[in-house]
Copies of this chain bind each other. A is one copy, B any other.
Amino acid sequence: MRFFSDNTASACPQILAALAAANHGLARAYGDDEWTMRLDEAFSSFFGTQVRAFAVATGTAANSLSLATLSPPYGAIFAHTEAHIACDECGAPGFFTGGAQLALLEGAHGRLQPDVVAAALAAHPRHLHSVQPAALSLTQATELGTVYRVPELTSLCESAHHGGLKVHMDGARFANAVAFLDCHPGDLSWRAGVDVLSFGATKNGALAAEAVVFFDLSLVRDFELRRKRAGHLLSKSRYVAAQLLAYLEAGLWERNAQRTNTLAQQIGRAAGARLLHPVEANEVFLNLGTAGKASLRNSGFEFYDWGAETSGEARFVVSWDQPEEDVPALCGAVSRL
């Protein structure tokens, strides 16, 4: 029973059906096709405001291209120490920005505290000898499976804007956050002050499709050139656009996120005191001890060590196509530890 990652999931049947539906005849390349040309409208409708939306194939591309439009090479990008951009992208932000520096901040349960960010921004030097605060990157849902509430987000964005920074949101699991809070997608993005969003679909049911959504439209031209230059403008764009359209318009984003959130919460409840972080999305972090981890593995559960192999901590991620029976099995096994 595989709880490694939502990247191990297959693609939704509706996504494959959308590919098949797009697979007829000759279409203009590089985004001038009818599918891609509908993205702006579809995302504007989804977010309840005028946006520009661009498809890419990976989350690292979405994040790094976004950040490169926000930070000069001498910029500082503020983020949580656990952020994907800091830990899991092989230094991509440094590559795409031409060497911007990450300024990493601690925060319980993967969340940056507004006062911590405000203090860090206030303390950061602005003289010529220092990198210049340029962007705040927030992850929603966070890397530890928690979700920022609207007032927190708003406060974080205000601090950033007050300090002259732009705000990027890594929304690889944005749908899970919206589903958890049962709010409008605009509430977690532009209304809170987000300037550009990496909107994930791959983990939550697409094959390979992420959108970069600009609420600050002035950044678009720079983005488009950077995307092409980075090899992230797909020639047969219709196939990635068709995934995103299906994901939004067939409501896959919500249905899948609700299911994985719900299942993850079941695991969280079963875990009792072993639970390390509140379960607010589709990830569950448990302190199992090394014996507990071994025991679960012997029982056929696959999951990641969190931190060192010897740490006793483990991460379980529920995928949109997780077999239903995996979850009670895991709950039972954890309870019995």
Contacts and interface: CB of A to CB of B under 8 A. Distances in A.
B229 A74 contact: yes
Given A5-B29, A8-B28, A90-B128, A98 B123 contact: no
A325 to B, nearest CB: 13
| Interface-centre pick from A16, A59, A94, A321 (highest chain B CB count, 10 A) | A94
A123 to B, nearest CB: 6
Contact of A89 (B7, B129, B132): B129
Most chain-B CB neighbours within 10 Å: which of A11, A25, A62, A236? A236
B207 A90 contact: no
A234 B57 contact: yes
Interface in A20-76: 20, 22-30, 56-65, 72-76
B23 A4 contact: no
A154 interface: no
Interface string A226-268: 1011111111100110000000000000000000000000000
Contacts of A123: 308
A236 B128 CA distance: 15
B90 A130 contact: yes
A235 B57 CA distance: 9
**Interface on chain A toward B: helix, strand, loop, or mixed SS?**
loop
A100 interface: yes
A22 B10 CA distance: 8
A9 interface: yes
A235 B321 contact: no
A97 interface: yes
Contact of A132 (B59, B87, B131, B225): B225
Interface residues of A, number: 80
Contact of A87 (B19, B99, B130, B233): B130
A142 interface: no
Interface in A75-107: 75-76, 87-95, 97-102
A115 interface: no
Given A89-B228, A98-B98, A239 B11 contact: yes
Contacts of A322: 26
A230 B230 contact: yes
Contact of A131 (B90, B230, B235): B90
Given A24-B10, A91-B100, A129 B228 contact: yes
Contacts of A240: 208
Nearest to A93: B99
9 contacts: A57-B57, A58-B234, A59-B231, A60-B229, A73-B226, A94-B98, A94-B100, A208-B235, A208-B240
